[in-house]
Amino acid sequence: MITKKEAVDFLNSSSTENILDMLSKISKKGTHEKDRRRCITYSKNVFIPLSKWCRNKCGYCIFREDKPKLMKPSEVKEIILRGDKLGCREALFTFGENVDENEKIKEQLRSMGFDNILEYLYYLEDWTLNNSSLLPHTNCGILSYEELKMLKEVNASMGLMLENVSERLMNTIAHKYSPGKDPRLRIEMIENAGKLKIPFTTGLLIGIGETNEEIVESLFAIRKIYKKYGHIQEVIIQNFRAKKGIPMENFKEPSPVKMLKVIILAKLILDDISIQIPPNLNRETGQLFLLAGVDDWGGISPLTKDYVNPEAEWPEVEELRRWTEELGLELKMRLPVYDKYISREWLSEKVYEKIKIDILKDQR
């Protein structure tokens, strides 16, 4: 187990030998047959942004819009059914945090017969389970224990990016107008998901003004939560991308070497948690990151764009396959819930039966 000091020293170092030494450690972790990687996974999904209004105004975000608008049920259902025909198995539902604080959003919800956004979300996700072969995955910002408990009934997995544990960042351009990015709130939600046994995705955002020490503290914080609850199925290491029109448009993006070193540390610190990188943000470097222990390409869609990074098109499945097979690995499509969590211990009865009866049966 690498120590915090060793991890910080590694990030601070400019030695090529240190990188090669760390890569050797990762290689040795896979010398036993049971630990050796054979497959790199991905999820085929549709991305459904129910609303782009958000109470947070992050310095790096282009997803947020001032216009308070909700997608209609007919729009969502059309995407779900089209995605089903294209072989998608994940419906990624997202919207701005606390979106129904907005009075115009409330009016739209009432006109459709719903009291709040989560009631509407539950209806859409339940409909998805009953009318398609897609499994819902929700990532919509801070939720309470009771809200998580309710949504577990209709979700195969859920997610929330930790981004970073640094409270200092709350006073910077990245988060000073974003109360929901308080790391204490985000850690509490990730822990509540663990208490409820919800298969969970989290991750770090690299390049938003954090220090190397804060990156390391964030990785160890995730490790601590995982060791207690065991529910974190994957950790995304996501690189900040500068975009025209955002407050941080002139910020420097993290270099490939910086990303490589953070991924190496994530692999060494986070044990058997899958490490994911967004392939549309790492087209030139993604293959190299596989060498550092990345074992999941995340979600890609044949139908919908990445609304968080709309300038970055998804790669085609065959492109991912080429990247993967060139390193002697096999590309494998997965569900939004990882195989080891497909049990009644981790899933609601409704979701478990959907997977066992409808989805896995079809795969056989």
Instruction: Give 273-316 pLDDT, tens digit per residue.
Output: 999 999 999 999 999 999 999 999 999 999 999 999 999 999 99
Please determine, for residue 241, whether its predicted confidence score (pLDDT) is greater than 80.
yes
Tell me the three-class secondary structure of the chain, residue by residue.
Answer: CCCHHHHHHHHHCCCHHHHHHHHHHHHHHCCCHHHCCCEEEEEEEEEEEEECCCCCCCCCCCCCCCCCCCCCHHHHHHHHHHHHHCCCCEEEEEECCCHHHCHHHHHHHHHCCCCCHHHHHHHHHHHHHHHCCCEEEECCCCCCHHHHHHHHCCCCEEECCCECCCCHHHHCCCCCCCHHHCHHHHHHHHHHHHHCCCCEEEEEEECCCCCHHHHHHHHHHHHHHHHHHCCEEEEEEEECCCCCCCCCCCCCCCCHHHHHHHHHHHHHHCCCCEEECCHHHCCCCHHHHHHCCCCEEEEECCCCCCCCCCCCCCCCHHHHHHHHHCCCCEEEEECCCCHHHCCCCCCCHHHHHHHHHHHHHHHC
Which residue in the block uniquely carries the two structure tokens 């896979």? 30
Look at residue 32 in the predicted model and tell me its pLDDT: 44
Residue 360 has pLDDT above 70, yes or no: no
Q: In this predicted model, what pLDDT tens digit does every residue of 244-267 receive, in sequence order?
A: 999 999 999 999 999 999 999 999
For the chain, the domains span 4-363
What was the pLDDT predicted at 362? Answer: 58
Q: What is the pLDDT of residue 27?
A: 81
Rounded to two decimals, the pTM is 0.96
* pLDDT tens digit sequence for 2-50: 999 999 999 999 999 999 999 998 887 654 434 456 899 999 999 999 9
* 60, 248 Cβ separation under 8 angstroms: yes
| Assigned token pair, 282 | 């790492």
**Residue in the block written with tokens 């096999």:** 330
- Indicate whether 71 pLDDT > 80: yes
Tens-digit pLDDT profile for residues 74-128: 999 999 999 999 999 999 999 999 999 999 999 999 999 999 999 999 999 999 9
Mean pLDDT of the chain: 95
- Give the C-alpha separation, 280 to 42, whole Å: 13
Task: Tell me the per-residue pLDDT of 178-231, one tens digit each, with 9 for 90 and over.
Answer: 999 999 999 999 999 999 999 999 999 999 999 999 999 999 999 999 999 999
- Beta carbons of 47 and 93 less than 8 angstroms apart: no
Q: What CA–CA distance (Å, rounded) separates 141 from 131? A: 26
Q: Could you tell me which residues come within 8 angstroms of residue 303 by beta carbon, excluding any fewer than 6 positions away? A: 46, 79, 82, 83, 86, 88
Q: What is the pLDDT of residue 361?
A: 64
| 54 labelled binding-site residue | yes
Percent of the chain with pLDDT over 70: 96
pLDDT of residue 357: 82
Nearest to 40 by CA among 282, 277, 303, 364: 277
- Residue 58 is assigned to a ligand binding site: yes
The pLDDT assigned to 31 comes to 44
Q: Which CATH class is domain 4-363?
A: alpha beta
Q: Is 88 annotated as a binding residue?
A: no
| C-alpha 263 chain-centroid distance | 15
The whole-number pLDDT of residue 363 equals: 54
Q: What is the arithmetic mean of pLDDT over 53-65? A: 97
Of 130 and 359, the structure prediction assigns the larger pLDDT to 130
**Cα torsion for 317, 322, 326, 328, to the nearest 10°?**
40
The residues near 76 (Cβ < 8 Å, ≥ 6 apart) are 48, 50, 124
| In the predicted structure, residue 364 carries a pLDDT above the cut 60 | no
